[in-house]
Amino acid sequence: MIGREAQLADLQAFLDRPGPVRVRVITGGGGSGKTRLALELCEQRAAAGWDAGFATSSKMKSLLDAPNRSTWGWQRPTLVVIDYAAQHAEKLGPWLDELADAETRGLPPLRLLLLEREARTESGWWREVFESGGYGAAAKRALLDPPHPWELLPLGKVEDRVAVLAAHGPVTGLPVPPR
């Protein structure tokens, strides 16, 4: 997680904030590290006793097509990562409506991490998920933490990019960053 320490710490804080259900949307270009960051987060939380992992397309389909989706009964703190969230936009919105309206007091935390390359708040899948539902849209948006997409930028420091490459074997022919 070279160069991603601050983002990982921010995600840990997101998971630890009080509240039964919270949602974060992470965006970033292909190869920016969204999936790798989420995988690291899942590994750390699983080691701490959470149920944590990626929801496959088939799992998402069965969950989103099930009756009473909001009461599927997570029993421990749970982190669900949904990669390529736009694929599930049509059913994510109603599920989040149900979660926002459900009686979740006393349940362990449920955290949803939605990963996608882009999320424009004024159009597209974001709007379909978080702006639909009339009055309920406000309750659904209240689950967001932060209330807008969280963009994962490419590694900026040359030292970090070189260190990532070096971690995968000898690096030759690259400029050595100044110290």
Quick one: what percent of the chain has pLDDT higher than 70? 83
Task: Give the mean model confidence (pLDDT) for residues 91-101.
Answer: 89
Q: State the pTM of this model.
A: 0.83
pLDDT tens readout for residues 40-67: 999 999 999 999 999 988 887 777 777 7
The Cα-based distances of 104 to 70, 95, 170 in angstroms read 9, 14, 51
Quick one: what percent of the chain has pLDDT higher than 90? 56
Q: Where are the beta strands (DSSP E) in 13-86?
A: 21-27, 51-54, 78-83
Domain boundaries, the chain: 5-15+22-166
Which residue reads 């110290």 in tokens? 179
Q: In CATH, what is the architecture of 5-15+22-166?
A: 3-Layer(aba) Sandwich (3.40)
